[in-house]
Amino acid sequence: MKILVVHQYYLAPGEPGGSRFNEFARLWTEAGHQVTVIAGSVSYATGKRADSVAGGFIVRREEDGIDVWRCHVPQTYNRSYSGRMWAFFGFTVSACVAALRTARPDVVVATSPPLTAAIPGFVAARCRWRPVPWVFEMRDLWPESAITTGVIGRRSMLARVLFALERWACRRASKVNVLTPAFADDVKARGLVTDAKLCFVPNGADVDSFTNCSAAPAVRRELGWGTRFVALYAGAHGRANALHQLVDAADSLRERSDILIVSAGDGPERAALEADARARGLDNIRFVGSIAKERMPAVIAAADAGLAVLQNNPTFRTVYPNKVFDYMACAKPTVLAIDGVARDLACDQAHAAIFAEPENGTAIAAAICQLADVPAAARTLGVNGHAWVIANAARPVLAMRYLDILASLVRPSSAIPAPASSEV
């Protein structure tokens, strides 16, 4: 098959962040399929544009054996929330141009957020002399998550436009893939998707990269962690992540010189978080910045436990954070300050995590202490998580499941009609 993926946040070589589709693209290519990716030119983690794509509206290049079209994204992305909206618009325009220039695929996958990725996905699939099927993937519930985190108002014109775009994408797509059962319940309850159109390929982990990481001791020495118990957060530093709760946890752990909280990643809130930690005189929390995805397994392996936190927000009860899968793949116990389906998976199904109330620094500190003080129990949680990921969420298994869905759309479609006008 010729598979076209529209993904604004597809990682460039060496970039930090979630690598779900980087791994899918590699595995699909190894299985004999041809993969093309339409991606953004600005890193969502750092807000920076790589020198290799600077100055080009669309730059086509090979990245790790994949044909990638890097499309212009305004560098307003990390300056403000209005700047981020402008960046989404800029990518939508440049990606639509790229979608019309790429060779005709057999199937298209457009993955959100941002929700606007659905537009170039539709263009790539339908605006051709012979339309092809396409999958709209919902990695997050947009615009609901933007509303509940306070980025946009529920009654605003922008929210109305985005809800309309969400409805349009769900109705026009051949299939809608969701990453959690709660997402499925939500879109069905709102009448956006039927069971026949819905599919479920969740987040997972590249187990091979996170297993038996020999570089971990060297990384631990390099970062100066010593013999302390290190609880690591690896991910974005944005409003939704509410990382002030980690600063609060560090404040509660002032007397525990044997415990260190480390936050790896970047985002618009990082500077304020570092300033807060300095103002409180905390030396037991460190912000180490972005780490390339190739190095992340060694950093996680060097830590003693993983931290997964989000804003105490009803919308986040529906998500599976990909960092939880990475911690489990690395056999690290997790402190989970996220309620809902993530708690059900990590605590109740996998028995790999300790739950702490979201945005409660004291509760998070107590959970970290529990892991530090009972190492045998912590090891058991890590072993449990590793076994669960291998059985249920290894990326090769998920990649083949996704491939089966794409193949089912292509096989019967020697002539795929355009959607009926009643679907608008």
What residues contact residue 158 under an 8 Å CB cut-off, 6+ apart?
85, 143, 152
Residue 284 lies in a domain: yes
Q: What is the pLDDT of residue 263?
A: 97
Q: What is the pLDDT of residue 51?
A: 65
Half-sphere exposure in the Cβ direction for 259 (13 Å, CA): 22
DSSP states along 254-320: TT-TTEEEEEE---TTHHHHHHHHHHTT--SEEEEE---TTTHHHHHHHSSEEEEE--S-GGGGG--
Q: Tally the residues of the chain.
A: 424
Over residues 319-358, the pLDDT tens digits come to 888 899 999 999 999 999 999 999 999 999 999 999 999 9
Place of tokens 């990606």: 95
Residue 419 lies in a domain: no
Q: What is the pLDDT of residue 107?
A: 97
Over residues 88-102, the pLDDT tens digits come to 889 999 999 999 999
Confidence category of residue 414, pLDDT binned at 50, 70, 90: very low
Residue 176 lies in a domain: yes
DSSP states along 12-55: PTT--S--HHHHHHHHHHHTT-EEEEEEESB-TTT--B-GGGTT
Using only the alpha carbons of the chain, give its radius of gyration: 21
| Residues 60, 348: Cα–Cα separation, whole Å | 45
Let me know whether 399 and 388 are in one domain: no
Let me know whether 273 and 186 are in one domain: no
Let me know whether 243 and 306 are in one domain: yes
Checking if the pLDDT of 205 tops 70, the result is yes
CATH number for position 227: 3.40.50.2000
Residue 424 lies in a domain: no
Q: What 3-state class would DSSP assign to 387? A: helix
Angle, to 10 degrees, between the axis of helix 395-410 and the axis of helix 20-30? 70
Q: What 3-state class would DSSP assign to 394? A: strand
Over residues 274-306, the pLDDT tens digits come to 999 999 999 999 999 988 888 888 999 999 999
Give how far Cα 231 sits from Cα of 80, 162, 228, 273, Å: 30, 37, 9, 17
**Residues forming a β-bridge with 259:** 229
Let me know whether 76 and 46 are in one domain: yes
Let me know whether 165 and 74 are in one domain: yes
| Residues 423, 168: Cα–Cα separation, whole Å | 8
Q: What is the pLDDT of residue 410?
A: 92
Predicted TM-score of the model (pTM) = 0.79
What residues contact residue 233 under an 8 Å CB cut-off, 6+ apart?
243, 246, 261, 262, 263, 264, 265, 306, 307, 308, 309, 323
Q: What is the pLDDT of residue 419?
A: 38
Half-sphere exposure in the Cβ direction for 300 (13 Å, CA): 33
CA dihedral 113, 115, 119, 124 (to 10 degrees): 30
Checking if the pLDDT of 71 tops 70, the result is yes
Residue 420 lies in a domain: no
Give the tokens for residue 236. 């974005």
Q: What is the pLDDT of residue 416?
A: 39
Let me know whether 311 and 365 are in one domain: yes
Q: What is the pLDDT of residue 206?
A: 80
Let me know whether 15 and 146 are in one domain: yes
Q: What is the pLDDT of residue 338?
A: 96
Q: What is the pLDDT of residue 284?
A: 97
Domain with 345, as residue range(s), is 207-392
Let me know whether 136 and 225 are in one domain: no
Over residues 21-67, the pLDDT tens digits come to 999 999 999 999 999 999 998 877 777 777 666 668 999 999 999 99
For every residue of 157-222, which 3-state class applies, written as one string? HHHHHHHHHHHHHHHHCCEEEECCHHHHHHHHHCCCCCCCCEEECCCCECHHHHCCCCCHHHHHHH
Checking if the pLDDT of 417 tops 60, the result is no
Give how far Cα 422 sits from Cα of 127, 172, 176, 389, 418, Å: 18, 10, 18, 42, 11
Q: What is the pLDDT of residue 85?
A: 81
Residue 384 lies in a domain: yes
Let me know whether 89 and 180 are in one domain: yes
Residue 253 lies in a domain: yes
Let me know whether 401 and 334 are in one domain: no
Indicate the number of domains in the chain.
2
Let me know whether 182 and 224 are in one domain: no
Let me know whether 223 and 191 are in one domain: no
Confidence category of residue 4, pLDDT binned at 50, 70, 90: very high
Q: Which helix (H) or strand (E) holds 337?
A: strand 334-337
Over residues 238-275, the pLDDT tens digits come to 889 999 999 999 999 999 999 999 999 998 899 999 99
Confidence category of residue 78, pLDDT binned at 50, 70, 90: low
Residue 159 lies in a domain: yes
